[in-house]
Amino acid sequence: RWFTHFYVVSVLWNGFLLIWLFRAEFLGESLPSWIQDMHHALGRDSQSENTGNEHFSALLVLLLLWLHSCRRLAECLWTSVFSSGVIHIVQYCFGLGYYIAVGSTVLCQVPTNVRNGKGLSVQICWYHIIGVMMYIWASLHQHRCLAILANLRKSRSGKVVSLSHSVPSGDWFESVSCPHYFAELLIYVSMAITLGIHNVTWWCVVMYVLFNQALAAVLCHEFYQKNFSSYPKHRKAFIPLVF
């Protein structure tokens, strides 16, 4: 239930970064000095040959990250039905820090000249189109799967009738136990593609998401197998047909 706090922080912080980056792109304004100082330490000090694409890619990924946070916040507030489970205080603090750091990571990819208030032209490339399409596809499936989980605890009228666990079915649940975790990974991969595929920094973020979501999926998969004797044996834990 307290995951909701993560998305509140993400919507506010990444929305703030998005506004400033948008103003730098289209109005030629400088980023606030404290943001420039922070990213002077964390980011690059030299601009690359393809700054136009890099700048627009970062702006687009920050927009996708913000939209993802908005959707997840809305799902936490109005779709998901949470049990009485709790989160460790260390995990909670780490989660809050993560959503602040991930937006800053995107902003670190912006060339220095843009941080100083020199706007760049918008250049849409093939990887932007592929990345956004993959993002939309994965986001739709993640929402469907979260709705399926929520409906297991609701009556047909939409009233919550139980907080117990049940075996989900439909959509990607036919292939894996935790398709919403798999969709989360695909969403971050789509952002890596949108950044131009070659961005090593963001692929490190993808690897973190991979291991984090894979661990959660395995634990959930083992829970299903332990508590439901008729649980489908063909289902994988995380990645269809693979893992």
pLDDT tens-place string over residues 20-42: 888 877 777 777 777 777 767 76
pTM of the full predicted structure?
Answer: 0.92
User: Phi first, then psi: what are they for 41, rounded to 5°?
Assistant: -80, -35
* 3-class SS of residue 163: coil
Quick one: which H or E segment has residue 129?
Answer: helix 126-151
pLDDT digits (tens, 9 = 90+) for 149-162: 999 999 988 899 99
Helices 126-151 and 51-78, packing angle to 10 deg: 10
